[in-house]
Structure 1
Amino acid sequence: MIDPANEAPAGLTRRSLLTAGLGLVLQGLTGPAGAAGPAERGSPAAPPSVYLLRGFAGVFSTGIDEIDGALRASGVASHIGSHLGWRSVADTILQRHAAGSDGPVVLIGHSLGANAAISVAELLERERVDVRYLATFAATAPDPLPGNIDRAVNFYFSQGGWGLPLVPGPRFRGRLENRDFAGYRDVGHFNIDKQPALQTEVVKDTLRILRRG
């Protein structure tokens, strides 16, 4: 459960809490430090496509940057950019897929970046490329989910928070989880992506997916 007040104990920052939490997650996934754990042995031959998209102006989605940093710290070559560049993201994934050099696809976005992540998935569906995991924070005007998404998790507000639930499109057969944060004190559109527990959850889910390949 997230801390509704979004406060850390004295001397601790949100980033340090996220790092500490991820240390436990990574230990569980990979075993003791320095050991070749199951995550290493089960890694896909081709590198994954993990893309994170910021929202408006790139200044309100610093939680997305923290997730990107945590993924990189765990050895994942993730990529981060603006919602305006979603077509370039889709083109890059398709080019890598056509060349046979693309592993599992993971898309993560906040606000307009959440909308854009779904747009990327829609374009990939036309080329029969699957998205293994989609994580969205406070999507503002999301399209219905296309049929190529295996699992989608969405953090939204049913009231007072400016973020909509995701809905399945006609071809969607994956797993969809909408998590409502309406009523959580001091948690809203501009900081839902900055909640350490949610950041850790998204990173953990991503690492598990990449472990399975």
Structure 2
Amino acid sequence: MTSSGVTTKFFSVLGLSARWWLRSLKPAALAIALFALPALTTASHAVPASGASGVHVYLLRGVLNVFSLGLDGIASKLEAQGIPVTITNYLGWSALADEAAADYRSGKIHTIILVGHSSGATVLPDMVARLSQQGAPVKLAIGLDSVFRTSLSGRVGRYVNYYIGNGNGEPVAPTKQLHGTLENVNVSNVPGVGHLTIEKSEIMQRRVISDIDAVAFGSRPREVSAAPILAR
């Protein structure tokens, strides 16, 4: 599905008129706004000496970067633990995958972790496949409420798709080319969680960070209060 298709359905999910929104901007201005985003919003942070050596977390925001600001909170908490992060808009996923693959092959990083919200979650299977094709397997990928049906292939240690089953969220389908573990977790019953709040929810942020810590530090995922209501 094209980036314009993702954008259109996203605004439909919000109950807005995507057609009116797109027509309200001149085509040239819209193109500049969308395709300049990856370059303008990519931020990388070096890992402290006491951090998780060789681990890097890549976070992908959704449309226009204004609906996925909870990822910044997750990034700050990871950085406080010494885990380096890179945040960018979902439109930059392919360039980010190439960058991560190059760093993996050079030995700069050895553990790749992906997190995406909304459209950022929609492109995660494509990013996993692209990295796998370049010999850079993903250790952990976490999707937060993609509203499009996607399928997963390639090498990934663990793929967790948190989706809102009583909304527009969609489970991820495995393919025969998948080498790894796929978990679809319906978070409909988590208090206060919706498409625009899932990545801002304290419960979900703790869950995501727990999943990441289990990989980065070799620990078991920490139990959180949401555990009893996360339905697979």
Give the TM-score normalised by the residue count of structure 2: 0.68
CA distance in 2, matches of 1:142, 1:70: 30
- Structure 2: any 5+ residue segments left out of the alignment? 1-49, 220-232
1:132-169, Cα deviation, whole Å (9 max, x unpaired):
1111111122531113011111111223x221111112
1:164 matches 2:179: no
CA distance in 2, matches of 1:74, 1:142: 34
| Cα offset, 1:71, TM superposition | 0.4
For 1:94, the equivalent position in structure 2 comes to: 101
Q: Please state which structure has a larger fraction of its residues in strand.
A: 2
CA distance in 2, matches of 1:181, 1:174: 22
For 2:151, the equivalent position in structure 1 comes to: 144
Residue 114 of structure 1 aligns with an amino acid whose one-letter code is A
CA distance in 2, matches of 1:196, 1:186: 10
| Cα offset, 1:110, TM superposition | 0.2
For 1:18, the equivalent position in structure 2 comes to: none
2:192, 2:201 within 8 Å by CA — same for their partners in 1? no
For 1:133, the equivalent position in structure 2 comes to: 140
Residue 180 of structure 2 aligns with an amino acid whose one-letter code is G
1:147, 1:170 within 8 Å by CA — same for their partners in 2? no
- Structure 1: any 5+ residue segments left out of the alignment? 1-39
1:110 matches 2:129: no
Residue 78 of structure 2 aligns with an amino acid whose one-letter code is L
Counting aligned pairs with the same residue, the percent is: 31
The secondary structure found in structure 2 opposite 1:192 is coil
Tell me whether 178-187 or 111-120 shows the greater mean CA deviation: 178-187
1:49, 1:106 within 8 Å by CA — same for their partners in 2? yes
For 2:74, the equivalent position in structure 1 comes to: 67
The secondary structure found in structure 1 opposite 2:160 is strand
| Cα offset, 1:118, TM superposition | 2.1
For 1:83, the equivalent position in structure 2 comes to: 90
Q: RMSD across aligned C-alpha pairs, in angstroms?
A: 2.0
Give the TM-score normalised by the residue count of structure 1: 0.73
CA distance in 2, matches of 1:143, 1:170: 14
Q: How do residues 30-45 of structure 1 correspond to structure 2 at under 5 angstroms?
A: 43-44=52-53
1:9-56, Cα deviation, whole Å (9 max, x unpaired):
xxxxxxxxxxxxxxxxxxxxxxxxxxxxxxx69x54xx2221000001
The secondary structure found in structure 2 opposite 1:132 is strand
